[in-house]
């Protein structure tokens, strides 16, 4: 009899839907059906058992091809790369569990590495603004139960967080919002008339890169000042209308996304969004939330802040002293300045998602990819180490976009022999300790293990 597993969490986006029902075959090896997930969530589960999986680590050979090696050999290779590098960079973590993040941090500290996560190219600007200006936020449950006005600014959940609107913001009937969509006003502000804008009551087409001015105009109006005829492409009447709706709300939430963080102004755009939220709290209750992308990209911020006091861009090259300085210790900046001499890509795909110029710089040095699947990073690595898929084959804790921790479960076993991120990093850590002890005993000459460099 196929088995139904309930309350399964989805390992894709920051909405962290934990209401999936997954039907698994008799032998526990195949995923037959996935209920409640969106198109992307569905794909993740079906892909796990549907296609060809890499089951052994693969090491790049001098002719450019890959050769299968054992996990022991892969652990040894990774540990030697880290041991021999002056300033290795360990980056990614959007798609793994908190247990794996903590184990990786142990490795980073031992190796004297820079430890960074995808926030570095995503919501890092939000951290900077939050440090400066606070974070008057809430949980998604509060938005669902209380919000009568929801504003999406530079965020397109219809594409990036497909069930965000149906689970938490626009459509659900909450405790004080029993009429669902009918009891809510939805405002969308974006330079593109997105699919999210389609469901909005009010849509403002802000000029790309001019969000700061529009926030400023809203703040001016909320505080009773005059504004010009038009700001950032939006007419004064529309700004007055939306400001009035915001002031009269019983409870409002601003959900913002990459439109603010990826455009000119970066953290300053988020900073003024927070200031507007604070201003509105003179009149009524308003909250703000970053639309975190990956299902556990909030995780490393929580785990490493607890371990080291900083959420990302952690420089641990002095080992027992941590410092963080985005612009200096951020992955893309480090890459562009050629300041790192080894790269571990884990739970992300820097090969596809970094600007190609940064990829080229990083590839001058040893590059190791830790990922369940074939991706761009795995296809340009010296070493690809496959691991189990968190949320499908490996259980663990993840943090939802509103900082709520959720215990994810596994529904099937990983392919035979394939280990978890956590176990892998624990084994690399152990090997690093051995190398350190051997090195101290023999004062061995350091030499990087052979691989294929970009310039070769």
Which residue lies nearer to ligand SF4 by CB, 13 or 334? 13
Contact between 101 and another protein by CB under 8 A: the answer reads: no
Q: How far is the CB of 169 from ligand SF4 (least distance, A)?
A: 12
Contact between 59 and ligand SF4 by CB under 6 A: the answer reads: no
Render 97-146 in DSSP notation, one character per residue.
Answer: -HHHHHHHHHHHHHHT-EEEEGGGGTTHHHHHHHHHH------HHHHHHH
Torsional sign, CA 41, 42, 45, 49: negative
Choose the contact partner of 394 out of another protein, ligand SF4, none; CB within 5 to 8 A by kind.
none
- DSSP 8-class letter at 380: G
Contact between 21 and ligand SF4 by CB under 6 A: the answer reads: no
Determine the 3-state secondary structure of 454 from DSSP.
coil
Choose the contact partner of 163 out of ligand SF4, another protein, none; CB within 5 to 8 A by kind.
ligand SF4
Among 22, 24, 31, 37, binds ligand SF4 (CB under 6 A): 37
Contact between 349 and another protein by CB under 8 A: the answer reads: yes
C-alpha–C-alpha distance, residues 110 and 439, integer Å: 14
Contact between 360 and another protein by CB under 8 A: the answer reads: yes
Among 12, 203, 212, 255, binds ligand SF4 (CB under 6 A): 12
Contact between 114 and another protein by CB under 8 A: the answer reads: no
Among 60, 161, 219, 384, binds ligand SF4 (CB under 6 A): 161
C-alpha–C-alpha distance, residues 223 and 340, integer Å: 48
Which residue lies nearer to ligand SF4 by CB, 299 or 366? 299
C-alpha–C-alpha distance, residues 328 and 309, integer Å: 18
Contact between 81 and ligand SF4 by CB under 6 A: the answer reads: no
Diameter of the chain measured on Cα atoms:
76
What is the b/e burial string over 96-115, where b = at least 16 CB atoms within 10 angstroms of the residue's CB?
bbbbbbbbbbbbbbbbbbbb
Choose the contact partner of 29 out of another protein, ligand SF4, none; CB within 5 to 8 A by kind.
none
Determine the 3-state secondary structure of 51 from DSSP.
coil
Among 17, 103, 188, 314, binds ligand SF4 (CB under 6 A): 17
What are the residues binding ligand SF4 (CB under 6 A)?
A: 10, 12-13, 15-17, 37-38, 40-41, 161-163, 295
């Amino acid at each position: 009899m196929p088995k139904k597993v309930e309350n399964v969490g989805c390992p894709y986006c920051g909405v962290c839907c934990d209401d999936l029902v997954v039907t698994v075959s008799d032998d526990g090896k195949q995923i037959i059906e996935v209920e409640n997930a969106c198109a992307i969530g569905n794909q993740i589960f079906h892909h796990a058992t549907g296609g060809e999986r890499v089951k052994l680590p693969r090491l790049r050979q001098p002719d450019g091809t890959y050769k299968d090696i054992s996990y022991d050999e892969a652990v040894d290779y990774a540990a030697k790369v880290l041991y021999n590098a002056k300033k290795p960079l360990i980056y990614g973590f959007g798609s793994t569990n908190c247990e794996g993040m903590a184990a990786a941090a142990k490795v980073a500290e031992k190796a004297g590495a820079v430890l960074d996560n995808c926030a570095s190219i995503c919501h890092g600007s939000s951290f900077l603004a939050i440090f400066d200006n606070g974070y008057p936020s809430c949980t998604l449950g509060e938005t669902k139960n209380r919000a009568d006005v929801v504003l999406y600014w530079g965020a397109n959940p219809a594409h990036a967080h497909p069930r965000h609107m149906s689970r938490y913001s626009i459509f659900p009937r909450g405790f004080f919002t029993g009429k669902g969509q009918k009891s809510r006003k939805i405002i969308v502000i974006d330079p593109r008339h997105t699919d999210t804008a389609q469901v909005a009551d009010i849509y403002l087409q802000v000029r790309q890169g001019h969000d700061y001015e529009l926030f400023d105009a809203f703040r001016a109006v909320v505080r009773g000042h005059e504004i010009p005829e038009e700001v950032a492409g939006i007419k004064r009447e529309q700004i007055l209308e939306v400001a009035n709706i915001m002031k009269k709300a019983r409870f409002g939430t601003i959900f913002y996304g990459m439109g603010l963080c990826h455009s000119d102004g970066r953290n300053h755009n988020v900073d003024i969004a927070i200031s507007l939220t604070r201003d509105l709290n003179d009149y009524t209750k308003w909250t703000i939330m970053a639309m975190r992308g990956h299902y556990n990209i909030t995780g490393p911020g929580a785990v490493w802040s607890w371990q080291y006091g900083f959420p990302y861009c952690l420089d641990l090259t002095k080992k027992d002293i941590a410092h963080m300085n985005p612009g200096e210790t951020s992955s893309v900046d480090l890459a562009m300045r050629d300041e790192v001499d080894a790269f571990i890509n884990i739970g992300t795909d820097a090969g596809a998602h970094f600007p190609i110029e940064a990829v080229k710089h990083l590839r001058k040095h040893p590059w190791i990819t830790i990922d369940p699947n074939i991706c761009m990073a795995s296809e340009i690595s010296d070493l690809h180490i496959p691991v189990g898929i968190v949320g499908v084959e490996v259980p663990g804790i993840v943090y939802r976009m509103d900082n709520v921790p959720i215990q994810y479960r596994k529904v099937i076993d990983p392919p035979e022999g394939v280990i978890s991120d956590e176990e892998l990093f624990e084994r690399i850590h152990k090997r690093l300790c051995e190398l350190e002890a051997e090195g101290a005993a023999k004062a061995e000459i350091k030499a990087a293990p052979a691989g294929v460099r970009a310039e070769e």
